[in-house]
Structure formats: structure tokens, C-alpha cells
Homo-oligomer: A and B are copies of this chain.
Amino acid sequence: MSHFGSGTEYGLHCLILLAQAPGAIISSRDLAELQGVSVYFLAKIFPRLEKAGIVTASEGIRGGYTLARPADEITVLDVVEAIEGRKPLFECQEIRGRCAVFGGQPPAWATAGVCGIHAVMIRAERILHDELARTTLSGLADGVGRKAPPGFETDVQAWLADRFESRAQAQIAAVKKPRPRRQNET
């Protein structure tokens, strides 16, 4: 297993798509089906991004998500912390005060300040966070844009727009087929 879960991966991919379509409202279902990941799982991730102020939600049919602020103001660290939660690199249990030679009453010098091991971990964690905060969603989106041929991004937007538009037609189709619910292919 890795330190960051797949939720973070899915979330970042979705947010890049939102960054490429500024202002567009895209549902978690469409984002999931576009990328071939679980609709249900993605639907659990987005509320966290909303609570963190990264996306804004709109309800009802034709509802969905949009970036809450410009893509260059959302860092990878913001997304990781929103989805994974703020779990620290290291949780100091203050072993130093338990030393048997203290006999249960550790002297002041033993528990003063930050434990040496903990200090190393705090430093490493800050460096990791700084690095993750260096890349923004617009930076990631630019990277994708540079690799893809000119037509690709348009195709993706067309795919999403088609889904969005078909919300109205779904109602008409429902007259013929009672339950036209899509199945997920995961």
C-alpha cells in the first residue's frame, strides 16, 4: 500500500478536468464514467473537496461541481489534505519520558521541548508539504495540455457537454423505457 490512497488519485484527475473547463458544472457521475472509476466512490470523495473549499456544489438535475477558486490557487497539498485528512508523518508518543531510570517521574529536562526524533519528522513533513504546495491544478492541467494533441481537450469537453445536455432528453426517453439507469463498468 502507498501513503496516499486512490481517493487522492481520483480526486486530482477529476480536478484537472474541472480546471480545463472553467465555470462548467460537472457531476461526479459524469467525472467517474469519463474516467472509468467507481461512481459511488467518487461521490464519497467530492463532499470532502467541497468542505475544504476546493469545489462548490450545485444541487438538482444538472447539478454538479465547479472549482471554488482559480485553478492556480489550488495546490496539490490542498487536495491531498482535503481527501486524506491532515494525518501527520509521525505521532510522537513521548517515549523519552518513560525511561526506567526515571522511575516514573521524568525530570523536566527529559520532557522539555520537542523530542529529537519528532523534530526530524516535523522538518521532513514541512519539506514534503512545501513541495506538494509548489504544484497547482493549473500546473497539472498545463502538463496534460502539452502532451495531448489539439483536438483531445475539445473531445473531452464535447463528451461532458453531451452528457450535460442529455439530462433533459432523459426525461423524454423515460417515457419509452421506464428505467434507463446507466450501469457502471468498474
Q: Please indicate which of the listed interface residues A93, A98, A117, A123 has the most CB atoms of chain B within 10 Å of its own CB.
A: A117
From B37, B98, B128, contact of A36 by CB (8 A): B98
A92 within 8 A of B: yes
* Chain A interface, number of residues (Cβ within 8 angstroms): 56
From B100, B143, B149, contact of A159 by CB (8 A): B100
Give this chain's copy count: 2
Which of the candidate stretches A3-11, A46-54, A61-69, A171-179 sits at the interface with the other chain? A3-11
Residue of B nearest to A128 (CB): B128
For the complex, give the distance between the alpha carbons of A34 and B98 in Å. Answer: 8
- A87 and B124 within 8 A (CB): no
Residues of B within 8 A of A4 (CB): 89-91, 121
A147 within 8 A of B: yes
- B1 and A90 within 8 A (CB): no
A168 within 8 A of B: no
- A143 and B116 within 8 A (CB): yes
